[in-house]
Amino acid sequence: MTLSGRLESLLADASRGNRFSGVVLLQRDDEELFKRAYGYAVRSWKIKNRVDTRFRIASISKMFTAVAILQLIEGRKLSLDTGVVEYLGLENTKIPKAVTVYHLLTMTSGIADWFDESGDWEENWAALCREYPIYLFRRNQDYLPLFVNHEPVARVGEGYKYNGAGYILLGLIIENVAGMAYFDYVREQVFAKAKMERSDFLALDGVYDEVAEGYIPITNAQENVVGWKTNVYSTTPEAAADGGATSTAGDLIRFSQALRQGSLLSIPMTEGILTPKVRQNDQRFRGYTWMYGYGNMFILDDSDRIVRYGHTGEEDGVSCRLYYYPEQNLDVVILANQSWGAGDLAWEIHDLIVDTNP
């Protein structure tokens, strides 16, 4: 069976089993090898997803923030060594003075996150929402009270720990340097340059054309899906510098290609964002070494060759992947409008790609 046939069978089965609702696109240069839509964009009216439906993409947006910061560094407005505390006037907070832009980009700052994703995710999120009504989070600065006065969780530069708060700070730096809202800067300097015409920062509680609603499955004791609820009360209403943009599969391919081709950054900066910087952990998962760079996740094989890079995006009602496989010259986008819809599926697609080497 061809790769396309195997993907069709895999995704049709996942859709029937309520494991996936969304879009999958595999593309090499200008050739679309596989492009299909599954499930419903709006379940209550049985409106189906289309291949050009717009989805919230969660933390994939961190890649846009990384590109924006590196553009400003290219313009000599700041550097990787710029001190964050002094630059943002955070002297009376718990953010260590040694934290630099580099530490924020590579998630090695050791600062407290605005939401701790370790432990019982649902319980921790519910506790945060009881203390801080999430509908009030509309701008990057709205997140500061959630972390700037919390003790660091590690020493600066000691090691990697996934951290969204650092990208909130990067967003504020972008606003200060560029003299405009973070969202406007990314629209002008990332989306427009990459020709991402259907990408934007859209409020979860807003009404827009051709945007998929996010859904959280309701399961019974046997973990069978027996119903659905929307994510309108389960995640932040607006995007921020650490995630939440809205995009399409095609636009994300255009972004990935523009990044590799040097349309967004200079050759040295392009090389920098496509190079791993720090190990995510000492263990090898699924036989790979896992590393992080400037808003970019990498897996490397036994010979330290990059097998794949890109970013994940997960929040209630949203599950996305943007990956590039250098050896196969293959872009892969998975956009799901249901919780955890892309996780296992992404690995199944990964195995098909590396096994068949299409």
One-letter amino acid at 322 equals: L
Least Cα distance to 143 among 105, 173, 113, 118 occurs for 113
Task: Write down the pTM of the prediction.
Answer: 0.97
Distances in Å between the alpha carbon of 313 and those of 95, 169, 235, 246, 343?
26, 19, 13, 11, 10
pLDDT tens per residue across span 318-353: 999 999 999 999 999 999 999 999 999 999 999 999
Q: Are 244 and 238 in contact (CB under 8 A)?
A: yes
Q: Which helix (H) or strand (E) holds 145?
A: none
CA angle 133, 136, 138 (to 5 degrees): 140
The pLDDT value given to residue 31: 97
pLDDT tens per residue across span 134-178: 888 999 999 999 999 999 999 999 999 999 999 999 999 999 999
Both tokens assigned to 17: 């089993």
Nearest-angstrom CA–CA distance, 259 and 342: 23
Nearest-angstrom CA–CA distance, 235 and 57: 12
Both tokens assigned to 191: 């989306």
pLDDT tens per residue across span 175-196: 999 999 999 999 999 999 999 9
Cβ-based neighbour number of residue 200 at 10 Å:
18
Distances in Å between the alpha carbon of 286 and those of 10, 56, 230, 278?
20, 28, 33, 18
Nearest-angstrom CA–CA distance, 291 and 281: 8
